Structures are given as structure tokens and as C-alpha cells.
Structure 1
Amino acid sequence: MRTGEDTHRASYGRTAPSGPQAGYGGEVLVTADGLPGWLHPVVRAVDTVAPEQLSRFLPPENGRGRQSAVLVLFGEGETGPELLLMERSGSLRAHAGQPAFPGGALDLEDGDPATTGPLRAALREAEEETGLDPAGVQLFGVLPKLYIPVSGFVVTPVLGWWRAPSPIQAVDPAETARVFTVPVADLTDPANRATTVHPSGHLGPAFTVEGALVWGFTAGVIDRLLHFAGWERPWDRGRQVPLDWHA
């Protein structure tokens, strides 16, 4: 079994060649072993994608920005592959009411932000926000760090396979309005794709799924994963949805 030190020696942002599952606390592993075949295109995408292929917003060269991580968790639902999302509480000061991946800022106990820190933080925050059991999550990859200018967060997307699903719910209603899963088939359906226009004029991808408009950082990561995994279907980029849309 790989230890945290072994993971540090592995190429960070690449899948490690061995290890039974993701550990939580004492050990954190990145492994591609035991994944379903349909996830292999995502693994290949993680191994090859460059930061500038994911976003035009990259971490500042001066090192500023608060280190954080999100868990991009794939599972197997009743209708096939699905992705775990949550909707932030409408009373929050930042990103209120916005669908997002579970995640948050790194704590000191999470460890080195350049190695295992984001892995531990992604699992810890997902447990705190959705109630999932981290023991059932197998981490298999890490995307390059990205930047959210509006909040100043440097975000590491950590990818996981929900090997043993557990009950989920909004643990703290003051922070999380709801927790839900979205079938990957719905995310790739052209009828659910749209483009949002930020007040600044910036255009970004969006998804109208499960009664929510998924946009911003979360939609950008999903969009690029679908694209580089070869799952993207042609869709009407001229279809625009206002940011105050809701079902």
C-alpha cells in the first residue's frame, strides 16, 4: 500500500499505479485500480490535460490565493454514471444559491497544499457538507490547480469514484441548501446545455439539470471533463440562459 510519502514521490496530478482505495486521515492515495471501464476516458483526460486547457483563470504567479479543493465524485446511479453536486445556501456571502462540487479551503491538518493536502481537504469537506462516508470513495486523479478571481481561491479539483455509495443530505442548512446527483447522460444531453453571460461580458458553459442552473467554475470543470473524455455531444452554444434562471 502506498503511504502519504509514496504519494508525494509520485507525479502529482497523475494517477498512481497501485493501491487498493483512497485513505482518509493517516493515508491518502491516488489510484486508478478497480475503476469501472466507463471512467477510463476520464482517467486518460486527467493524465494529459494542461491547466490552460481547463480555464483561462490560472493561479497567480505571485503565489497569492487561498488554497482549496473540491471533490468531483462520479458514481453509478439507477440510470448509469452520475456526478455528485450540492447547492449552496442562499444566505451565504459568496456563491449563494450556486450549485457546486463539495469542497472548501484547506485546513492546517490537511497537510502540504502541494501534495496530499487537497486530497484530504476534498474528502473532509465532502463529508462535512454532504454526510457521505469517505471510506467508500476511491480517489483516482487530480486536475491542475485553477483560480476563482471573484473569491481569490486557488482550487484543486480532486476526482473520485464512489465505490461504495452512502446516504447523503445537506448536513448544515445554513451552508448547503440541498445535495443531489446528476446523470452524466443529462449533462451530455444537448437540450440541457447553454451559455451564460456574466455581467462582465464573459461567456461560460452551463447546464440546466435537476431544477438547477450549473454555471461558473463548476460548469467549466464539467464542460472540460466531458470534452476531453470524449463524451461531449454537439450543442447550441448560441442558446443563452440568464444567471437568475431557476426551474
Structure 2
Amino acid sequence: MIPDRPDRPGVNVDLHPAAAPVWLRPMFDDITVEVPLVKPEQEEVPPPEVRHSAVLMAVAGDPDAQARPRDARILLTHRSPDMRSHAGQLAFPGGRVDPTDVNAVDAALREAWEETGLQREHVTPVAQLPQIHVRSSARPVHPVVAWWHTPRELYPASEEETDDVFTVTIDHLTDPANRLTVGWGDWRGPAFYVQDYLLWGFTAGLVAGALTHAGWDLPWHSERVYDLRATLDKCRNNEATFRR
């Protein structure tokens, strides 16, 4: 399914941190990069053959609240179980930075439009976080935080990539009952129960880091480690790596 309205490449690609409501700013204060990513062919380090990706962390909520409001929420997608990579995982909208993208912000907004129908004029990019490398591919990923000032109903606009699109409240993510640590072999990482899915891996790490930096963490039993495969068996991710 193609979104009803076309995207507008190259539009709304600058960062405007002052546009974020007061309660959202702790998520990115003091950790944003100053210069958005240039086009991949202009990068010298890492080498140009390294493919960059960008993800959009779109956050909505009461714009007039001083403290984090109860309706503060963030956009997530469920990747189709038939995808070649990260199949069945919960993720932020995102994907590869193309040569035609102005910067990582442009790429994140384009990918969000392609996957969920999100119109870029409905958000304001407020921060670009330092790049993170995905453990499985070592690919640098550039997280972009956006203030979703005009929330609209979204949907799986690219069913080959995404089969579910929804928001989850920050209150749900900080609730200790929804948090756990999962392990697979010698790997350990944070995870969250979300709508009968398991949020884990790169996206869960990004969420956990954002909650901690914002000072929104509540005490939870992080020291107990649950087997990742056994935990996924109880959830509806249907991840290709762990199908029996």
C-alpha cells in the first residue's frame, strides 16, 4: 500500500531542539550531535562502502505539560516476519540512507513515510543522537528524535516491510512490570513487553538509553536474565531466527 499523499524529500531536514516541549528535552539534552550526517559519498570515516542507516524516534504528547504527561508516547513498527534482516522484530521506522537523501534526518523521515504513512510536516526534528553500530552488521545507525506535534492514525504503508504500526506510552515502557533483561549465548540486553510483542535488541537498547538519560527510569529487576528464545516463544514476534 502506498501512502495517500506523496513525500516531500529534502523538506524539514534541519534540527529545531527549541521546538520540543519542555518535558521531552531531557531525552536528548547534552547528547545531540551538532552537524547532521552528510551524504554517504562525502563521508571519509568510516569508509564510503559502509552503508549508513537512520531511524525516527517520533514522540507525541501534551505540548503544554512541564513534566512528562501520561499521554507521552513513541511510534513503533513490527517488521514483517518475511524480511531478510531483523524479521519479526519491533523497530523504529527507518532504513538505509540513500545517496539522494540530504542527511540522516531526510532518510529517517522518508523511511517513516514509506513504512507508516507519516507525513513529514506532522513532525519537527529536534535532535540527532550520536551514531550507534548494530551488533549483527556493524552498520552505523543515526537515531533522529522528532516532536510529533500533529499525531494522525498511521498504518503499515509498506506491508512487505511492516505489518503493524502503533504507539506505546512512555509510562508503559518505564513500568517495572514491562521490563526485563534477556540473554542469548554470551549476549545480554534490555527488553520490554509491548502489546504481546517483545521489544529487544538494538531498538530496546536505544529506548533504555533514552529513558535513563531523561531520568525516567524506575527501579526494576535488571539483574535477572531471561532466555531470549524461550521469552520470544511466549510473544507474537514470529522472528525468523527463532522459529522452530
Same fold (TM > 0.5): yes
Q: Deviations over 1:16-74 (max 9, x none)?
A: xxxxxxx95245210123322211211315349xxxxxxxxxxxx75363101000111
Contact kept? 1:94, 1:151, Cα under 8 Å = no
Correspondent of 2:178 among 189, 192, 195 = 192
| 1:33 equivalent in alignment to 2:35 | no
Aligned twin of 2:101 = 110
Structure 1 residues 192 and 27: alpha-carbon distance in aligned structure 2, compared to 1, 3 A threshold: closer
Higher relative contact order (CA 8 A, sep 6+): 2
Aligned twin of 1:81 = 72
Task: Provide the aligned length of Structure 1 versus Structure 2.
Answer: 207
Structure 1 residues 68 and 126: alpha-carbon distance in aligned structure 2, compared to 1, 3 A threshold: same
Contact kept? 2:52, 2:139, Cα under 8 Å = yes
Q: Deviations over 1:52-108 (max 9, x none)?
A: xxxxxxxxx753631010001111289410010001000111101000010000111
Aligned twin of 1:144 = 130
Q: How does 1:30-179 map to 2 (within 5 A)?
A: 30-47=15-32, 63=47, 65-76=50-61, 79-111=70-102, 117-179=103-165
DSSP 3-state at the match of 2:223: coil
Gaps of 5+ in 2: 1-7, 34-44, 63-68, 237-244
> Taking structure 1 as the reference length, what is the TM-score of the superposition?
0.78
Aligned twin of 1:10 = none
Residues in 1 aligned to 2:24 and 2:217: alpha-carbon distance in whole angstroms: 14
Amino acid corresponding to residue 82 of structure 1 in structure 2: R
Amino acid corresponding to residue 96 of structure 1 in structure 2: A
Residues in 2 aligned to 1:192 and 1:155: alpha-carbon distance in whole angstroms: 26
- Which moved further from structure 2: 62-71 or 39-48? 39-48
Residues in 2 aligned to 1:190 and 1:73: alpha-carbon distance in whole angstroms: 23
Residues in 2 aligned to 1:145 and 1:97: alpha-carbon distance in whole angstroms: 24
Structure 1 residues 96 and 70: alpha-carbon distance in aligned structure 2, compared to 1, 3 A threshold: same
Gaps of 5+ in 1: 1-22, 49-60, 112-116
Structure 1 residues 212 and 237: alpha-carbon distance in aligned structure 2, compared to 1, 3 A threshold: same
DSSP 3-state at the match of 1:124: helix
Contact kept? 2:9, 2:101, Cα under 8 Å = no
Aligned twin of 1:5 = none
Amino acid corresponding to residue 95 of structure 1 in structure 2: H
Contact kept? 1:87, 1:178, Cα under 8 Å = yes
